[in-house]
Amino acid sequence: MKIMSTEQFKSETKESTTDLLNEKELDDAVLPIIQQVKNDGDAALFDLTEKFDHVRLDQLLVRPEEFKEAMEGVDEAFLTSIRQAKENIAAFHQLQKEETWISQPKQGITLGQKVTPMDRVGIYVPGGKAAYPSTVLMNVIPAKIAGVDHIAITTPPGKDGKVNPYVLAAAFETGVDTIYKVGGAQAIAALAYGTETIDKVDKIVGPGNAFVARAKKWVFGDVAIDMIAGPSEICVVADETAPVDYVAADLLSQAEHDESARSICVTPDANFAHKLEQEITKQLEKLERQAIAKQSLEQNGKIIVTDDLEEAFEIVNIIAPEHLQLMIESPAEYVDLVKHAGAIFLGHHSPEPLGDYFAGPNHTLPTSGTARFASPLGVYDFIKRSSIIRYSKEQLQQSADSIINIAHVEGLTAHAKSIQLRKDDQ
């Protein structure tokens, strides 16, 4: 974990470049998989699952008895927790619902917007070695609230050919009954183009590894996607009031995700920075995923010392972090200084895992600086908006000359004639 000044951070940021070689390597792996699925459908999915997940499946669809087995196998404490989280997530996302609206700005003019849910959505849930039931909740619940007709989940099976029981239990609790045992770039291709078993969807959402993210980028346009997510990241703004052990634990909570995760603390207190560095070393020794977290911190961990809090927020807005924790005195007073962040956590008792699992706001957030232009996943990601326009004959007559003038300037004379015909029809 490097301690650096604002100037050093800015200089390092300017020098960073995109790894084009890595992108080429990803494309060389992903594009043939997409084409194979388009050409061979289910057969490709069976073959690719055997190749990458080391299991030969007899069918792709999770059967009803597998849901039953999962619900009987998970402990009651987990089910209680997942139901409480579901309630919080649903309550928050209900507030995001949009309704169709109609306006009549003048007599004879009706304008509006019709809100319609998408028909079919595919959700990618990472699996295999790990279980991510929280991903199921955060993606399914807003889609359900939006009114999506059909929600399909794809997730890689374990070597036993089964989907993780905690993922299945979360899916059952949220009302999803269509889950396919397929992961990786092949799952994205199947959702985008369809196979004999898996129907083509309108939009693909959900996190995944680099191959999943790259596949989403390539199918975009044929199907909608939520975002192309990069490694997880956290930025903590801390002053002398922040408990140093809390800050260290929160930075490590992101570093344990994977070696590419980014954990950054920005502080105006140089003394705090050195204490934090020591505390991170101390806590790291006891971490179960120590090797992953250590590599993450060595590669991407930073403690940036600024002149004051105002400068700290300048750094925050350069980073545009996925998760931003304000562990400072009176954090609410500084929210207006934040221009770019996926989620903002206020105070010493609002750590990032609270948002990951339980509070209610979505944990699918923009990463890699995309918070400059992107938002968290929400109900609005599962709807479409159609404009409504109606003019009376009298109102069109009044507007005709203006429309004709603009059409002629653009050289679209047939547009002008469409209006002129109605103007002349007195």
Q: Is residue 93 among the annotated active site residues?
A: no
Query: What is the CA 394 to chain-centroid distance, rounded?
Result: 48
Q: Do 262 and 308 meet the contact criterion of CB atoms below 8 Å apart?
A: no
Q: Do 348 and 328 meet the contact criterion of CB atoms below 8 Å apart?
A: no
* Given 93, 323, 340, 363, the catalytic residue: 323
Q: Do 53 and 156 meet the contact criterion of CB atoms below 8 Å apart?
A: yes
Q: Do 212 and 240 meet the contact criterion of CB atoms below 8 Å apart?
A: no
Residue 199 identity: D
Q: Is residue 323 among the annotated active site residues?
A: yes
79 closest CA partner among 87, 69, 68, 71: 71
* Given 322, 340, 348, 363, the catalytic residue: 322
E-only strand ranges, 295-353: 302-305, 323-327, 343-346
* Sheet containing strand 101-106, strands side by side: 101-106, 109-117, 383-391
Residue 361 in tokens: 């706001």
85 closest CA partner among 352, 363, 361, 358: 358
**Hey, which residues are catalytic here?**
322-323
